[in-house]
Amino acid sequence: MAVTVTEVYNSCDKERDGNRGLDMAVVTVNITNDDFPVTEGGEPIDFTSSTILDKPFGTVHAVICDMEDGYLFNYDHSTSRLQARYFDNDAGADGAAISVPNLHDLSGISALRMTVFGVRASIS
């Protein structure tokens, strides 16, 4: 599966910010996919890669993910992966949020918004 990341807001836009070249950045992105299946361990999204963002991060401090259609999404910093979880209040032994099974169909979710906080790799 390949996800598409589209920048929505970038606090480090040098043209908009008068060419100040800020190191800290807040970037809001939309994550879209045709069918949004989930693979084991989550979908790889590396915000330090220039293939994802025009101005990649050197360090990602925090990622906030929206909740969509009853699914909770979180970003695993150690693996750079987007993970999906759901709640099953009848299955107390599973814990508060259960990982969505491998290749679970999330086709009802067409877009997911994430906000990324961190330090840019380099600003030119």
pLDDT tens column, 24-36: 788 888 887 655 5
The mean pLDDT of the chain is: 76
Q: How many domains does the chain have?
A: 1
If you average pLDDT over residues 93-113, what whole number do you get? 75
Residues near 98 by beta carbon (within 8 Å), at least 6 away in sequence: 85, 86, 87, 88, 91
Domain that holds residue 18: 4-120
| Residues 82 and 31: beta-carbon distance below 8 Å | yes
